[in-house]
Amino acid sequence: MLKKLIISCLLLGSLTAQAQTKKAKSAQKPSTPAKAAAPAATTLQTQSDSLSYAMGISVGQFMKSQGVEELNYEMLNRAIAQTLNNEATLFDINEAHGVMERYARAGMQRKLTAEKDKGKQFLEQNKKREGVKETASGLQYEVLTAGNGPKPTRDNSILVHYAGKLLDGKEFDSSYSRGEPITINVSGVIAGWTEAVQLMPTGSKWRLYIPSELAYGDSGAGRDIPGGATLIFDVELLEIKGQ
């Protein structure tokens, strides 16, 4: 993420620097009678205009996605100009990288803390609902369909149907959507699953509420599961393989 942030800043900077260079060259021309300042451009008249505006959108969208809410553009332009003109800068390049890295890490920590807090608040309220049970680990579940078959152990492989979603309802994975159940090892999945399925009689369907420490922790998983996320799974235990 930091590398992308730096590249985006450099792309934005190169465009800004080109504009500054053109202004500097214009200033060296013989003086002419003063004219009223031209209004800021509001239309795209040249290929350079279009490219500049497109790059601005791209960089702006990326910065927004990384949580950059405000920049001092005067300082940004000054640093670009000083660098291209080989003038002294307030930071060397390593110090600059350090500043951006600390900013990125702080932003990630803020998001992680917010996600964890959201999960804790949800689970605190959820366990008060009728039918929801909580184990010593913090796993919560409710029985949607009560089975009466045997319960698997950590050493078993099982056949399950499932659907997983975030607290906002966004589904990130589903065997139902794929049209077929999957076989998994009880000990080879996230801790919340391993604990829950050993409590489930075959034929059961449960809804699991799994805190982040029993799911994917601070790292999250892929693009869809953020770090610190509490997850909700509907799990249907169809069969213990070999039985």
Residues designated as active site: 162, 172-173, 190, 216, 233
Question: How far is Cα 199 from Cα 201, in angstroms, rounded to an integer?
Answer: 7
Q: Parallel, antiparallel, or unpaired for β 157-165 and 133-134?
A: unpaired
Question: How far is Cα 171 from Cα 63, in angstroms, rounded to an integer?
Answer: 27
**Residue among 25, 232, 236, 29 nearest 144 (CA):** 236
β-bridge mates for residue 145, sequence order: 205
Residues 6+ apart with CB under 8 A from 217: 227, 228
